[in-house]
Structure 1
Amino acid sequence: MDADVIIVGAGPVGLMLAGELRAAGARPLVLERRPRRRDVPKAGGLGGQILELLRYRGLLERLEAACADPVPAPRFPFGGVHVDFTDLPDTPMHALPLPQQRLERLLEERADELGTEIRRGHPVVGVSQDDAAVTAEVHGPDGPYRVSARYLVGCDGARSRVRDLAGVGFPGTTYPEVNRLAQVTLPDTVTVLDDGGLDVPGFGAIRPGFTRTDRGLFGLGSSPGAEAVSVFTTEDEATEYDDDAPMTVAELQGSIRRVLGADLPVGEALRLSRFTFQARQAEHYRRGRILLAGDAAHLFPATGVAINAGMMDAVDLAWKLAAAVHGWAPADLLDTYHRERNLAAARTMLHTRAQVALRRGHDPAAEALRELFQELLTDEQPLRRMSALLSGADIRYPMPGADHPLAGAFAPDLTLHTDQGVTSVADLMRAPRPVLLDLADRTDLREAARDWRHRVDVRTAKTGQRPADVLLIRPDARIAWAASLDEPAGTAAPALRQALSTWFGAPDPGSS
């Protein structure tokens, strides 16, 4: 075969998947239809749980170093209102302002460093599969050819050719909104008010945040010391736009004029992007040896979520594909990818559809709903719940046979004291390998895991106020199983062996 896994699409999801697969010892081949990285701006940054995962992999510092803009305070738009997490000292919802083009470059550098082959200008036009392999028909610069692999993953976006070729339905809703987002400088003729708002001739004062008119929504944001302001418009249109056609300053100004009924002079445009909203989920994330991730699997009707969800898809899927390639994956391991990431997408769909309801209403009842929602978020507990929801920190994957409160959750970054010094859970998760973390010197449980020692790294450490005696952590940093404090060996050891078999296959032959 030409590769272990063919990845169709070299956006952030495909490149993240390629890096994770290569780090797990599999051979990916990335096929991208465009001859070069796209110049049209799309996502403007990352936020939520993916930042913690990238930190665990040792990649976050590298991404932070590439940020030209200061990291903003944790304030986020939500359905036409603003949610402010700055008063929460431990909010999991943060953002990293890294334009997608720069993110793709960094992820491609990582994939290259690990030895990944990436072919640009190689669109996939056909896909077939049998019990042993999947074959892609490709139109390369030098003519058509075929490549084969054990698996193929469609990371090729909302109009996924792979999804269509696999016959996977993509039901949902397309909303009539056209959204335009820009970062622009302002000429001296525009008066900036003391509160950061603007005085627009013909309209009057516009405060920071959202201004609603009977023609749409106008958003304004700025950061202290920033040279540019963020401008956002939403209006209903029947026009269909080509995603590859860049937005112009004239188009932005035309939209502002329609929404506000007045002209807003702008200077240099640092970022211009246009997008529409859809709420869709693939009926299946897996069909045989073909799988889907990112926008090919789900579309959400709100900003700031798609790239985060897609990259988390990649992290969940990569180690499972690598396990299948290496021959130790349990029979249904790949099926858990759909169950887990479909569950996560449903949670994201819940809050993004709620944002649709908040932002699209224009009558007094809708205004009352937005005002009440904003008022509720002045209380700490609703704010904490919203922080966990938006970041994805509240997602718990189903873990068969594991009833500990931490089962299915993202592993907390505990400070660990070992014979070699101080380390952390994040340090243990640099590579996408499972870890059995013994926090209570449980010789009985380390012995129970001995038959998986070639697949599972066993680590012993101490930590303050340990949450469990032992944590079994999957390569995606999810807790597969945990032993409660002082849980009897007669109960814990069989349960641990069952969890190890469920996630990491049968014991090594002859290891007992």
Structure 2
Amino acid sequence: MDQDVDVTVVGAGPVGLLLAAELALAGASVQVLERLTEPDETIKAGALNVPTAEALDRRGLLPAAEQVQREVMARVWEFLQSTGAATGAPGGGVPRRAGHFAAMMLDRDLVDEDDPELAGHDAVAGATLVPQRELEALLAGHAARLGVPVHRGVEVGGVEPGADGVVVHTSAGPVRSAWLVGCDGGRSVVRRAVGMGFPGTDPEITGHQAVVDIADPEQLATGWTWSTRGVYCHGPLPGRILTVEFDGAPADRDAPVTLDELQTSLRRVSGTDVTLTALHGGATRWTDNARQAATYRAGRVLLAGDAAHVHSPFGGQGLNLGVGDAVNLGWKLGAVIAGWAPESLLDTYDAERRPLGAWVLDWTRAQVALMRGDAKTAALRAVVGDLLATRGGMTHVVTAISGVTQRLDLPGDHPLVGRHVPDVPLADGTRLVDHGHHGGFLLLDRTPDGALGALAAAWAGRVTVVPDGAGAPIGMLVRPDGVVAWASDGTGGTGGTDGLAAVLHRWAGRPAATPVA
């Protein structure tokens, strides 16, 4: 392992790998430590939200993600054909689904596609059905191409933070680095070692997820099914099952999941005598334990992903929340290490990500509450079901799950400020995000005289100016994490070049050079 690197990342899941890649793009030296000797085969999240898919797009990984979705869709079609839910050519005669809310399927055909929240975010539609295991493999290749070393079979046992660095005690010996980021899951060793609090709510459910062989799959309904006994899901991939029971937390989270345990749970919640004949790798047992770290940073130690927040996995929100952490923290920590931004920039990481984390925790808590098997919950499910049967209700829930409504509280009155940048086609046939694979800031300049680009020349090397023909907005500054920091439909006043200069100083730091007159 390397000594005296800028950053050591603990955990080689999708969050740790993407964070390490973002740091490498920012010019930092980084290494990843992972206790597992091989990639985790546990079945976890099954899809990406729009901001996550757009994060891949910004780094040139969209084609690879689209290929994964094509392969997954072929397996979904195989499952649908086996259950009789689909016939004919792939894609024909099958209802379009947009996930579920509390085991209530969401019908994409009810969504108002003209909703302004969705506008401009359809370029990644072919790259959202990417399971977590496949995403991890994709990001491992991305990090490797950037020269990030991943040291497997290395277990962290302790952490010694200091004023100018951190010593990490591992099974392979001590490691020194200037910064340490824990991406090591809900039971984070890093978080516990530095004493960060983890307040929240205790679990009340036990869930299982696995891929199995089923002797009599016709006994099971396709998709999500709720009853007073619990919840189960069959599909959308061949052999995939999920169960939820309201009997408290499991006695032993770490015990191997057995075929008999899965069959017993599935029989209880489905009310059938379905028979499972084989268990494939990656079975998991989980709960709705919902907690958020009291702080995402303690000096030179930071947290991201499940190390900073845990909750039930409904909707795959945890994976997407963690990816958002990684892209937010990566460029900021890289900027501090490079020396062009003050350390106080890291304070915005907690400030920006904490509210979204709290929202996701409550979003999953609400789903658990709607899954309980009592009469009052059944009545409430009927009311929520009626709301979801309306175009407005369905559109609201689907846009929230998709992530397109996420917005940071940034100064500025333009409606794009604080939002993830929409897809912007350019006059030369490229898209704005095509110019951001290197990880820096992007400045769209549609002024007739190139005034915005001339102003940003002082930040050369950090800000890539992308000139384009006429259009609205006339200018837009996009941070490396895809968030619009400034936008203007005109060139005068605080929305023009004066406003841009202030925002560049705020986010892009001290000017790198002074333009030559």
Q: Structure 1 398/378 Cα, relative in aligned 2: closer, same or farther at 3 Å? A: same
Q: Structure 1 or 2: larger strand share?
A: 1
Q: Does 1:416 align with 2:426?
A: yes
Q: Does 1:4 align with 2:6?
A: yes
Q: 2:166·2:180 contact (CA, 8 Å) conserved in 1?
A: yes
Q: Within 5 Å, which residues of 2 pair with 1:229-268?
A: 229-238=239-248, 240=250, 243=253, 245-268=255-278
- Write the distance in 2 (CA, Å) between the matches of 1:492 and 1:103: 40
Q: Does 1:497 align with 2:501?
A: yes
Task: Please give the secondary structure, in 2, of the residue aligned with 1:305.
Answer: helix
- Write the distance in 1 (CA, Å) between the matches of 2:413 and 2:344: 20
Q: Structure 1 490/448 Cα, relative in aligned 2: closer, same or farther at 3 Å? A: farther
Provide, for residues 150-193 of structure 1, a one-character-per-residue CA deviation record: whole Å limited to 9, x for no partner. Answer: 21100010011111112110000122211112344443x55x3x
Q: Structure 1 101/285 Cα, relative in aligned 2: closer, same or farther at 3 Å? A: same
**Offset, 1:146:** 2.1
Q: Partner residue of 1:307?
A: 319
Q: Does 1:127 align with 2:155?
A: no
- Write the distance in 2 (CA, Å) between the matches of 1:385 and 1:10: 34
Amino acid paired to 2:232: F
Q: Does 1:471 align with 2:450?
A: no
Q: Does 1:384 align with 2:395?
A: yes
Of 348, 362, 374, the match for 1:350: 362
- Write the distance in 1 (CA, Å) between the matches of 2:452 and 2:379: 56
**Offset, 1:312:** 1.4
- Write the distance in 2 (CA, Å) between the matches of 1:64 and 1:280: 33
Identity in percent: 38
**Offset, 1:216:** 2.1
Provide, for residues 40-71 of structure 1, a one-character-per-residue CA deviation record: whole Å limited to 9, x for no partner. Answer: 33333433320122122221321343454217
Q: Does 1:74 align with 2:81?
A: no
Q: Does 1:150 align with 2:178?
A: yes
Q: Structure 1 396/450 Cα, relative in aligned 2: closer, same or farther at 3 Å? A: same
**Offset, 1:244:** 5.1
**Offset, 1:34:** 2.0
**Offset, 1:231:** 2.7
Task: Please give the secondary structure, in 1, of the residue aligned with 2:370.
Answer: helix
Q: Structure 1 29/329 Cα, relative in aligned 2: closer, same or farther at 3 Å? A: same
Gaps of at least 5 residues in structure 2 are 77-95
- Write the distance in 2 (CA, Å) between the matches of 1:60 and 1:115: 20
- Write the distance in 1 (CA, Å) between the matches of 2:293 and 2:514: 42
Amino acid paired to 2:28: A
Q: Structure 1 36/494 Cα, relative in aligned 2: closer, same or farther at 3 Å? A: same
- Write the distance in 2 (CA, Å) between the matches of 1:29 and 1:128: 18
**Offset, 1:6:** 0.6
- Write the distance in 2 (CA, Å) between the matches of 1:40 and 1:377: 32
- Write the distance in 2 (CA, Å) between the matches of 1:10 and 1:239: 27
Q: Structure 1 217/461 Cα, relative in aligned 2: closer, same or farther at 3 Å? A: same
Provide, for residues 226-271 of structure 1, a one-character-per-residue CA deviation record: whole Å limited to 9, x for no partner. Answer: 6x25432211335636555442322111112233443112355456
Provide, for residues 348-368 of structure 1, a one-character-per-residue CA deviation record: whole Å limited to 9, x for no partner. Answer: 2232122122112521x3222
- Write the distance in 2 (CA, Å) between the matches of 1:208 and 1:319: 39
Of 14, 19, 22, the match for 2:16: 14
Q: Structure 1 509/391 Cα, relative in aligned 2: closer, same or farther at 3 Å? A: same
Q: Structure 1 490/32 Cα, relative in aligned 2: closer, same or farther at 3 Å? A: closer
Q: Does 1:114 align with 2:157?
A: no
Q: Structure 1 241/436 Cα, relative in aligned 2: closer, same or farther at 3 Å? A: farther
**TM-score (structure 1 length as normaliser):** 0.87
Provide, for residues 275-298 of structure 1, a one-character-per-residue CA deviation record: whole Å limited to 9, x for no partner. Answer: 111111111111111100000001
Q: Partner residue of 1:404?
A: 414
- Write the distance in 2 (CA, Å) between the matches of 1:324 and 1:100: 30
Q: Partner residue of 1:395?
A: 406
Provide, for residues 282-324 of structure 1, a one-character-per-residue CA deviation record: whole Å limited to 9, x for no partner. Answer: 1111111110000000112342111111111111111111111
Provide, for residues 395-427 of structure 1, a one-character-per-residue CA deviation record: whole Å limited to 9, x for no partner. Answer: 111223x2211101000111101xxx2111221
Task: Please give the secondary structure, in 2, of the residue aligned with 1:50.
Answer: helix
Task: Please give the secondary structure, in 1, of the residue aligned with 2:72.
Answer: coil
Amino acid paired to 1:117: P
Of 424, 441, 456, the match for 2:463: 456
- Write the distance in 1 (CA, Å) between the matches of 2:210 and 2:447: 53
Q: 1:182·1:272 contact (CA, 8 Å) conserved in 2?
A: yes
Q: Partner residue of 1:195?
A: none
Q: Structure 1 433/79 Cα, relative in aligned 2: closer, same or farther at 3 Å? A: same
Q: Structure 1 409/51 Cα, relative in aligned 2: closer, same or farther at 3 Å? A: same
**Offset, 1:110:** 1.6
- Write the distance in 2 (CA, Å) between the matches of 1:236 and 1:298: 22
Of 268, 283, 287, the match for 2:298: 287
Q: Does 1:322 align with 2:334?
A: yes
Q: Structure 1 277/21 Cα, relative in aligned 2: closer, same or farther at 3 Å? A: same
Q: Partner residue of 2:193?
A: 165
Q: Partner residue of 2:136?
A: 104
- Write the distance in 2 (CA, Å) between the matches of 1:107 and 1:243: 28
Q: Partner residue of 1:209?
A: 224
Of 219, 228, 232, the match for 1:218: 232
Q: 1:330·1:503 contact (CA, 8 Å) conserved in 2?
A: no
Task: Please give the secondary structure, in 1, of the residue aligned with 2:288.
Answer: strand
Q: 1:221·1:230 contact (CA, 8 Å) conserved in 2?
A: yes
Q: Partner residue of 1:369?
A: 380
Q: Partner residue of 2:286?
A: 275
Q: 2:20·2:30 contact (CA, 8 Å) conserved in 1?
A: yes
Gaps of at least 5 residues in structure 1 are 193-197, 201-205
Q: Structure 1 or 2: larger helix share?
A: 2
Q: 2:45·2:313 contact (CA, 8 Å) conserved in 1?
A: no
**TM-score (structure 2 length as normaliser):** 0.86
